[in-house]
Each structure stands twice: as structure tokens, then as C-alpha cells.
Amino acid sequence: MSVSRTSYRNLLKNSTGRNGLTFWNTTGTVATVSNTNTSNNTVSNSAFQLAAGSIISQDFSLKFNEAHTVSLLFRASCSGGEAKVSITQNSTESILYDNANTGTDWKFVTFPFISLDTVCTIKITASIEIFASDLIVSEGTNIAPWVQSDEELYTTNFIADSTGLTIGSTTTDMKAHISTSAFEIYCGDDLRINVAPDGMRLQKTIIDDDLTVGSVKKIVLAGISVDFVIL
């Protein structure tokens, strides 16, 4: 695993859904996908899948009164629908891109804007099913190739961002997550171990040897019987 730095930054977090829908607000049905199509046509190998009538949006911080550039890839599942990209600043929404006749091929679009606030909202709206990938908001007017945010690192089995650190294995379907509030181990979607400041919780615990809990000790005898002893 390698980490490289560039002269530009992506101001969006989780900009292609490699950590699910974290940091994004959604309306309707939105999912994330990673498949042969994204592998062959996108840099990130991940995309947001918006069903017809769905919306995704994210608030992000930026410098006031500076030029910025938005870029992304998108394609529709069929021709003829509409896809919009907008920026909301000071409660005013501006349409940056409006395609009323989307196609099924991947299309790269980019457009500049001047920031009128220090926090803005980017929004993507779809009238038909679309896929959006490689989203980036960068400073300046140059078109910047897609990169992850400086504060995050996403790989196949490793996730690090402001929500914490997750290490997993697709082979065992196990993952460990460390956040500011707990250490957790999952099997699939089932939480098996939770270690938090208020204590530890275990699920489906199997004990093969002696165990002492407070003044009670469990002793396994020859693997066939169990004695409990008050210490």
C-alpha cells in the first residue's frame, strides 16, 4: 500500500462511495457499486447508483471568494432522462450542469464556480437511474484528476477517515473498526465484540480453557465437564 500527495486537494469526503454513503445525504434510493464497469471506466473503481428521482448531497468547506472547479463522471442506465449538478451557497442554489438527454456511455463533465461562502452544498439529482463517479471539487480553474480527500485512505480491505479506522477481509467476511468511542469486531453485519469506555460486550462466546470473572472461576475438566469455584 502506498500513499502519494498531489498539488491539489479534493474537498469532498468519500467522493465515490468507497465507504458506502458516509458523509452523504440521500433522498430516494441510493447505493454504491464497484464492478467490471467501474473498473474499466473510472479511476476510483466505485460509483454512486441513484435510482430515478433520487438525490445525493454533501456539505463541504472551502475558501471564500475563490475560484473552484467541480468534475465528475456519470452515465445513465437508459437514454432520455435528466441529470443535474448544483451548488448551494448562502441558501441560493445554482445549477452548474443540466443534461436533459443523458446517454448510457460514461461522460466526463467539469465546470467552475466562485465560492460565495465558506461552506457549500453540492447536489446531484437524477430523473432516471444514473451512476456518478470520480467526483472532485478542487481549488482553482484547472481540471484536477480525481483523488481521495487528504483526510482519508480507502483500499479494498482498509478504510481510514474521520469516522475511524476499519480493517477487513473479504475472504473471512470479518472486519475490525476503531472509532473515537469504541473498538468493534464484526462478522458480516453482526457485531461480535464491542469494547467501549463503559465496558466490553461479547456475542457468541466460546471458552475452551479456564475463565475467572470476579470471584467466580470456571474450570474445564478434561474438556468434558465444567466446575464453578467461588474464590
Q: Could you please report the per-residue DSSP string of 131-177?
A: EEEEEEEEESSSPPPP---TT-EE-SSEEEETTEEEEEETTTTEEEE
DSSP letter, residue 64: T
Q: Strands 67-76 and 190-196: what pairing?
A: unpaired
Contacts (Cβ under 8 Å, ≥6 apart) of 40:
none
What's the whole-number mean pLDDT along residues 145-163?
Answer: 79
- Whether 50 and 28 have beta carbons less than 8 Å apart is answered as yes
Q: Supply the DSSP symbol for 17.
A: S
Q: What residue segments make up the domains of the chain, in order of their start?
A: 25-151, 163-221
Q: Residues 182, 196: contact at Cβ < 8 Å?
A: yes
pLDDT band at 133 (very low <50, low <70, confident <90, very high): very high
Strand order, beta sheet including 47-50: 30-33, 47-50, 130-139, 67-76, 107-114
Q: Do residues 68 and 62 lie in contact, with contact meaning Cβ atoms separated by under 8 Å?
A: yes
Residues 141, 64, 113, 103, CA torsion sign:
positive
Q: What is the mean pLDDT of residues 192-208?
A: 77
pLDDT of residue 217: 63
CATH code of the domain occupying 25-151: 2.60.120.260
Q: What is the pLDDT of residues 84-128, one digit of tens each?
A: 999 999 999 999 998 887 888 999 999 999 999 999 999 999 999
Cell (9 digits) for 112: 467552475
Give the pLDDT confidence of 22-57 residue by residue, as tens digits: 999 999 999 999 999 999 999 999 999 999 999 999
DSSP state of 40: H
Q: Could you report the per-residue pLDDT of 3-19, keeping only the tens digit for each?
A: 444 468 999 999 999 88
Read off the pLDDT band of 1 (50, 70, 90): very low
Measure the CA–CA gap between 105 and 98, rounded to whole angstroms: 17
* Predicted confidence (pLDDT) at residue 163 exceeds the cutoff of 60: yes
C-alpha span between 49 and 17 (Å, rounded): 9
